[in-house]
Structure 1
Amino acid sequence: MSTVTRSASASPCMALNGIIDASLFPLKSTSDVVNLFRRALTSAIEPDLTLLSIVVGYIELSLTTGEAAQAAQAAQASLGSSSDVIMGNSVPFPVVTHELIAGLYKKFQTILSVVEKPKPHRQATRDIIKKVSDVIWNSLIRSSYKDRAHLQNLYSYLSGNKLDCFGVALATTAGCQLLGYRDVRLAISEDHAWVMFGQKRVESIEVTWHGKGSEDKRGQDIGAGIESGSWLYLGGLAVVCERGMEVAAICVALNISLSANSDCVEVAELQQQLLWLLYDLGHLKRYPMALGLLGELEEINRTHHSISCEQLFREAIEASRTYYHNHHVYPHIFQGNYYNRLLKYREAFAAWANAADVIRLYTYQCRDDEEIYKELLDIANELIPYVMKSESSGHSARSILRDAEVFANLLRFYDGICQWEEDSLTPILHIGWAKPLVNNITKFDYDIRSQVVIKLPEDLEAEQAAALEAKRAMAAAAAAAAESSLHFEGNNNNNNTVVKRDEKPKSELPTTLADLTAACGEKILNPDFLLQGGGQPFADQKQQSVAEETPSHNNKGTNTIDKEATTTTTTTSNGGTLAQSPPNEASSANEATQQPQHQHHKEAKLEESKSKSNSMCNIVEQTTSTPALVDDYDPFEIMLKRPVITLYSQKMKGLKDLLLAEKLNTHAISLQVTAQSVASRKVRGVADSRQSTATISATITAIASTEGGIGGGAGTAASASSASGDSIAASRPKRTRRE
């Protein structure tokens, strides 16, 4: 009898890609399981998804839901433990026997026996994949398992006929592999999974469901979901797995939760070691979610001495930007929450704003986007208000409430969410969002809020045009200056030479200032003027005065630029030559001594021309390099920073002047944020959007004028800004997924 049992189990064992044999069993420890995965991943034959999913699934459920695990959980509850940390459950590591795995493997083969196997070199078709998913779907217990733990592996399916939506997609992919269809691959977004197939793996098919219900999506193409702009499909930029990445997906799907407030340390350790194995083999470089999960595990329990969790979070973001055009939201959320836990609030706000910059690429779909909505709601209504509350106590100079860049990132975060809402038929920002938003804004004093330079998309176009014109003017001025420097001789008995000298700043200096203004957007305060009371009030004036100093024989000092500008204006308005000449030329009284001095004067002017040209170049270099020298933690330097942001959403554009007003009108801000201005009206055309925006702005203006909460008519300015905007589609940045 025992011989028959071994013979029956040997057949499935041979089906495990030929390299997995009974000698590897039983698996008694984490290292045994890691060794099994290493053998599967480094073999010349592709890893068997069915085998690996059954193995880790059995271990996961044994340690988290088995009788021994339940007893350990009850023991922890009796001790009154409520900490959100990983805790050991004192359950011995389950022994994975060869007979157990072989029996379940054989059962899966039997379930799939109704599907025909491929002929040599035959690829899968939509009908074949749907038939595999139908077989799995029809054998499940009729119930929805949304948000249930431990249902994402084949052991859960083969032992209890239970799977969630990811589990169905994984089982379909593993089933196609088991049948011999090698072109079927698992595709994973941040909250959904489907299948890609074909020679180039560009054809897609739904094999499961998504959401609270279990609506049948099987057999459908995902193109409709992509075109709807839903985050669920990541704009067609989801992770399309190779076999090694599918093994990584099996490891990511491991659920370490033991209860609501404790995790199983054994499962966490297994998951961490398996992910490091996949990382070392290069299977995670295109998988941002896996990198982020490994980073969180390393934050809890550091096991790798050369790679930190912070580096893993950065690698996840870089993978999203490199391979998926920065269409993945969770890598930025991973990083932001990590910095928040370390009390690095400046970095956390920047990361959260980056997450909002990604979500603005999509259109809010109420049911499909439930998970990411909860993440962003938690950041907006829980994490940020807590940070604001903790930072407002004491209100030191190093507080983030004294940092204009933090305020700018806060606006960028909400701008992304508002733009996410714009194309949606369902509004996002209700009063539950508006109250924390208003409270967060009021924590920043006017002197901090006023430092932020808020621009609109139309402002950027105007600045680009102005910068191009200034560049052309500089080129023309430089050519004119070079030509004039070669023609200083002639007409030595009159003041024409003096006129040419005074006209040179007219063509060069104002043009350079215009170019600097277009490049910087605002004047930069001079630290010496603020701290010591000396020098010019603006740094650019100080640099210009230094750059315009002429050689010592001119004897004009630091006021040269002012004097020459005044003289030039006089010359232009009169249309003739100057009445006075510089002191060194006015002292020349007779024709006899003027001729030898003229040659020396010509050489001096050529040298002066070169000196001025180099000085103006230095001004540009100093101005452009100044922001890079700012220390984020120097309170004085923070005061001098002028962060520049661009608002794209209609709601935040309407708040531009309200946000920068000396006295905030909280009622007007709340009304603008919660107004359903652009949610459902876009489907009826641009005219409706404009009319709605104008109506909201008019209401805000009325509130502002009634309460007098905004100085200088900011409510009216906000109304004009909002009403003058073009269609929403025109103001949105181009979506990479559309190209």
Structure 2
Amino acid sequence: MSTVTRSASASPCMALNGIIDASLFPLKSTSDVVNLFRRALTSAIEPDLTLLSIVVGYIELSLTTGEAAQAAQAAQAALGNSSDVIMGNSVPFPVVTHELIAGLYKKFQTILSVVDKPKPHRQATRDIIKKVSDVIWNSLIRSSYKDRAHLQNLYSYLSGNKLDCFGVALATTAGCQLLGYRDVRLAISEDHAWVMFGQKRVESIEVTWHGKGSEDKRGQDIGAGIESGSWLYLGGLAVVCERGMEVAAICVALNISLSANSDCVEVAELQQQLLWLLYDLGHLKRYPMALGLLGELEEINRTHRSISCEQLFREAIEASRSYYHNHHVYPHIFQGNYYNRLLKYREAFAAWANAADVIRLYTYQCRDDEEIYKELLDIANELIPYVMKTESSGHSARSILRDAEVFANLLRFYDGICQWEEDSLTPILHIGWAKPLVNNITKFDYDIRSQVVIKLPEDLEAEEVAKKAAAAAAVAAAAAAAEEGNNNNNNTVVKKDEKPKSELPTTLADLTAACGEKILNPDFLLQGGGQPFADQKQQATVETETANSNNTDKEATTTTTTTTSNGGSAAQSPPTEAEHKEAKLEENNTRSSGTSNNVEQATPIVDDYDPFEIMLKRPVITLHSQKMKGLKDLLLAEKLNTHAISLQVTAQSVASRKVRGAAVDSSRQPATISATITAIASTEVVGGAGGGGGGSAASASSGAGDSIAASRPKRTRRE
């Protein structure tokens, strides 16, 4: 080891704005590095990005790509170790000397010497930032213009002239800081990085490229990418870092991979401790990706007593919702994959559906969205089919295949992807997506699929109009009844805002609006007699009983005993929760057996998981994409027409057939889609009997694409 010179004159580290004392060197362990970062983050002077990136970069490359690391990797391969787990590589922790860091730091200063330093209180301009990025760009080895491991730190740049996309953005930000431009900040999306600058940091500039190519984007404003609706820029809601968050970005960029099948435990431990330091100092509060990464590290190796990895995943989602209007996809993917690894499939499906709800906010861009496309494709074609295959064996009452909410989340997942495809020039859902989708849907029986209430945006609008009309009519009727009651000295009082419960729906709009909340009476549907809803008879009985009570207010009882489709009731209802559950079970058994008196009392269930509660659920979802809206009737059919579903899903992207500047009548859209699906289904029925069915189906598919394309209005991107 070289002797460390501790004099200020011989220590370039003393020129790092006074942040780091040369006495802290050499660094011989993880705790030494953490102490260095703590000193930098808690000092009165902002942390030096150049110094910190060089230090962790040297440690990362020494432990993962150095000669000793390569020897350890070869030894593991000789032992036949192919498991995908973190492995210690038996490499001693590298000693970080003062001379090494000082020499590389001075080299970076020399590279940037061609750029003018700012005058006092002068802010950076687009030309200055462009010049800094040009200096770094032009000194790179051309073969490094691909995303490879261990190229995201300044040590890789200063020792080998190699950087990836993120590395160039980080080096540009660190270079501007080293020159004295304090208003330049790093901006990070989930797969890209650029620079924000100006007094309020609202001006943006590209300083690197993206993807596998080397197209020159430097100097451009990111506004065009935001306006295109691309996920790459997160709709203008990317993470704009302060200095502490930029240090967090340096730690997140640490790559712990030792080989394709193993990771370096020493680098993982360093990264985990640094992220906890940043977490405790509050620098991860607005950084969802860092919180998710820390959660994954904690899942592998629990180090914190009071905060679990599950809590970190929830904090990442909460950060996305609180600070970025829920425009970040990866926090939901982190959580869904975590639940999947714990075999909590219901929670995993809900988290994956939430991820699809975020991706629907964007428009698919083929090259820019490659990484998130791979993630969603893996979920759709690998993880979900494996879960379905696992759960279909045995088919017990606890299986997710007996849960209507899981089916609803599956539809919501695909609805988000279909809407992501809309307005895109490149289709997403090819036959490779359609086959797993159809197989997954067929795993759910009709009695489970039929429990899901599927609504369309136009249905919601119609319901809203019907509710307003019904409310206005109820107010007028209540006012008239109250006035008449007062004139006759009647003690019966009816609230103005309450509609009498005995009043039957008199219009199709009222009946349609109530169908989403109540179960239809089979006798009413088949014979036309009786009450239209199954729970009205029970409600009338309860009202009769309560009317005989002198100490019970009729109005409050009528309100609180009204049941919902989920089997719940208000807290003031005279029947207890247990009695209400038994009554609901008795009602369902009576309906299925045709008897009303000889029903045995249900056995109380001690377990917190109640299969009957799952079966009684009626989840309500709203489909927004044109493809899934067209599948509504097919999804709820008793016998699934798998060929028609596949044709609809793989139909040509409606956006690519869009006529620019042509006005489209949106009122014709639902009828056109319904006619298209009817044609596909009828073609399947006619062609399925003979050998010529395939040609007819193909013709129907072509017609479906034309019809939908001509009628679909342009979707406006939601902010």
**TM-score relative to the length of structure 1:** 0.80
Shift of 1:353: 0.6
User: Are 1:336 and 1:351, in contact at CA under 8 Å, matched by a contact in 2?
Assistant: yes
After TM superposition, list the pairs within 5 Å mapping 1:62-141 onto structure 2.
62-141=62-141
Deviations 1:675-696 (A, max 9, x none): 1141412353556999999998
In 1, the alpha carbon distance for the partners of 2:298 and 2:369 equals 28
| Structure 1 counterpart SS, 2:563 | helix
1:551 Cα deviation (Å)?
7.4
Deviation larger for 726-735 or 216-225: 726-735
1:651 to partner: Cα distance:
0.8
Q: Which moved more, 1:38-47 or 1:446-455?
A: 446-455
Query: 1:681-730 deviations in whole A, cap 9, x for unaligned?
Result: 23535569999999987665444224379999999999999999999999
- Give the paired residue count: 712
**Cα distance change, pair 333–580 in 1 and its aligned pair in 2 (3 A):** closer
Cα distance change on mapping 1:538 and 1:637 into 2, 3 Å:
farther
Measured against aligned partners, the alpha-carbon deviations of 1:50-79 in whole angstroms (never above 9, x if no partner) come to 000000000000000000000110111111
Deviations 1:658-685 (A, max 9, x none): 1111111111111111111414123535
SS in 2 for 1:538: coil
Find the aligned partners of 2:495 and 2:581 in 1 and give their Cα distance.
12
Q: How far apart in 1 are the matches of 2:571 and 2:295?
A: 75
Distance 1:187 1:640 in 2: 48
Contact residue 73 and residue 89 of structure 1 kept, 8 A: yes
User: What displacement does 1:524 show?
Assistant: 4.3
Structure 1 residue 12: Cα displacement? 1.9
The 3 A distance-change label for structure 1 pair 181 and 711 is farther
Deviations 1:496-538 (A, max 9, x none): 9999999996986769999897467142499999999999996
Q: Give 1:568 shift.
A: 24
SS at match of 1:196: strand
Give deviations 1:346-397, integer Å, cap 9, x for gaps. Answer: 1101110110111111111111110000000000000000000000000011
Change (3 A) 1:706 1:58: same
CA distance in structure 2 between the partners assigned to 1:438 and 1:289 by the alignment:
33
Match of 1:661 in 2: 637
Aligned partners of 1:580 and 1:175: how far apart in 2? 67
Change in Cα spacing, 1:485 to 1:129, as seen in structure 2 (3 Å) is closer
Partners of 2:116 and 2:194 in 1: CA distance: 21
1:235-261: per-residue Cα shift (whole Å, max 9, x none)? 100000000000000000000000000
- Distance in 2 (CA, whole Å) between partners of 1:602 and 1:29 is 62
List, as ranges, runs of 4+ consecutive aligned residues in structure 1 with deviation greater than 4 Å: 1-9, 469-486, 489-517, 524-539, 550-555, 559-583, 598-622, 629-632, 685-700, 708-739
Cα separation, 2, equivalents of 1:600 and 1:346: 28
3-state SS in 2 of match to 1:169 = helix
Q: Which runs of 5+ in 1 are unaligned?
A: 584-597
CA separation of 1:240/1:732 partners in 2, compared to 1, >3 Å: closer, same or farther? farther
Counting helix residues as a fraction of each chain, which structure ranks higher?
Answer: 1
**Structure 1 297/56 Cα, relative in aligned 2: closer, same or farther at 3 Å?**
same
CA distance in 2, matches of 1:241, 1:577: 48
Change (3 A) 1:55 1:533: farther
Change (3 A) 1:632 1:453: farther
SS for the counterpart of 2:53 is helix
Task: Kindly state the Cα deviation for residue 545 of structure 1 after the two structures are TM-superposed.
Answer: 1.6
Over 3 Å counting, the alpha-carbon distance change for 1:732 and 1:362 in structure 2 is farther
- For 1:580 and 1:84, how far apart are their aligned partners in 2? 56
Give 1:477's aligned residue.
473
Q: Quick check: 1:517 aligned with 2:523?
A: no
- Which residue is equivalent to 2:487? 492
Per the alignment, do residues 443 and 303 of structure 1 end up closer, same or farther by CA in structure 2, a change over 3 Å counting? same
Q: In the superposition, relative to structure 1, how do residues 351 and 580 fare at CA in structure 2: closer, same or farther (>3 Å)?
A: closer
* Within-5 A mapping of 1:11-90: 11-90=11-90
The 1:574/1:411 distance shift into structure 2, 3 A limit, reads closer
- Contact 1:314/1:335, CA 8 A, preserved across alignment: yes
Instruction: Report which stretch shifted further, 204-213 or 140-149.
Output: 140-149
Q: Of residues 668, 673, 676 in structure 2, which corresponds to 1:696?
A: 673
Contact 1:658 1:710 in 2 (8 A): no
SS at match of 2:681: helix
1:318-362 CA distance string (max 9 Å, x none): 000110011000000000000000000011011101101111111
SS of 1:380 mapped into structure 2: helix
> Kindly tell me: are residues 200 and 734 of structure 1, through their superposed partners in 2, closer, same or farther at Cα, counting changes over 3 Å?
farther
Deviates more, 1:361-370 or 1:688-697: 688-697
- CA pair 483-82 structure 1, distance change in 2 beyond 3 A: closer
Establish whether residue 538 from structure 1 lines up as the match of residue 533 from structure 2: yes
Indicate conservation of the 8 Å contact 1:380/1:436, yes or no: yes
Counterpart-to-counterpart distance in 1, 2:337 and 2:234: 22
Cα deviation code 1:542-583 (max 9, x no counterpart): 552244x3579979xxx9999999999999999999999999
Q: From the superposition, tell whether residues 350 and 534 of structure 1 become closer, same or farther in structure 2 (CA, over 3 Å).
A: farther
8 Å CA contact 2:560, 2:572 repeated in 1: no
CA distance in 2 between partners of 1:689 and 1:683 (Å): 14
SS at match of 2:194: strand
Cα offsets for 1:389-422 (capped at 9, x unmatched): 0000000111011111111111111111111111
Q: Deviations along 1:406-458, whole A, 9 cap, x unmatched?
A: 11111111111111111111111111111111111111111111111111110
Equivalent-residue separation in structure 2 for 1:176 and 1:347 (angstroms): 45
Q: Kindly tell me: are residues 429 and 3 of structure 1, through their superposed partners in 2, closer, same or farther at Cα, counting changes over 3 Å?
A: closer
Q: Please say which of residues 15-24 and 393-402 is displaced more in the overlay.
A: 15-24
Structure 1 residues 696 and 671, CA gap change in structure 2 (3 angstroms): farther
CA separation in 2, counterparts of 1:212 and 1:733?
A: 34
The answer to whether the Cα contact below 8 Å between 1:404 and 1:642 also exists between their aligned partners in 2 is yes
How many angstroms apart in 2 are the aligned matches of 1:148 and 1:495?
A: 83
The secondary structure found in structure 1 opposite 2:7 is: helix
Q: CA deviation at 1:212?
A: 1.0
Contact 2:683/2:700 (8 A) holds in 1? no
Distance 1:410 1:230 in 2: 24
State whether residues 630 and 637 of structure 1, in contact with CA within 8 Å, keep that contact through their aligned partners in structure 2: no
Relative to 1, partners in 2 of residues 1:110 and 1:396: Cα closer, same or farther, differing over 3 Å? same
- Determine whether 1:560 maps to 2:556: no
**2:26, 2:708 → 1: CA distance?**
62
Q: Is the Cα–Cα contact under 8 Å of residues 84 and 261 in structure 1 kept in the other structure?
A: yes
Residues 322-471 of structure 1 aligned to structure 2 (within 5 Å): 322-464=322-464
Distance 2:580 2:440 in 1: 64
- Aligned 8 A contact 1:238 1:324 in 2: yes
Quote the Cα distance in structure 2 between the aligned partners of 1:663 and 1:148.
49
Query: Which of these two proteins has the greater Rg computed from alpha carbons?
Result: 1
Report the TM-score, using the length of structure 2 for normalisation: 0.82
What is the CA–CA distance in structure 2 between the aligned matches of 1:330 and 1:232, rounded to whole Å?
12
CA distance in 1, matches of 2:443, 2:319: 36
Question: CA offset at residue 540 of structure 1?
Answer: 3.0
**What SS is found at the alignment partner of 1:441?**
helix
Q: Structure 1 residues 562 and 96 mapped into 2: Cα distance closer, same or farther (>3 Å)? A: closer
Q: 1:283 to 1:4 in 2, by over 3 A?
A: closer
* C-alpha distance after superposition, 1:574-600 (max 9, x if no partner): 9999999999xxxxxxxxxxxxxx999
1:614, CA displacement in angstroms?
34
Residues 665 and 704 in structure 1, CA contact (< 8 A), matched pair in contact too? yes
Sort the Cα spacing of 1:447 and 1:28 in 2 relative to 1 into closer, same or farther, 3 A.
Answer: same
SS of the residue aligned with 1:508?
A: coil
Equivalent residues of 1:235, 1:737 under 8 A apart = no
SS in 1 for 2:498: helix
Please identify, of 275-284 and 9-18, the stretch whose mean Cα deviation from structure 2 is larger: 9-18
| Native 8 Å contact 2:245 2:283 kept in 1 | yes
**Which range moves more in the overlay, 269-278 or 671-680?**
671-680
RMSD: 9.4
Q: In the alignment, which residue of structure 1 is the partner of 2:296? A: 296
Matches of 2:562 and 2:255, distance apart in 1: 80
Contact 1:55–1:96 under 8 Å retained in 2: yes
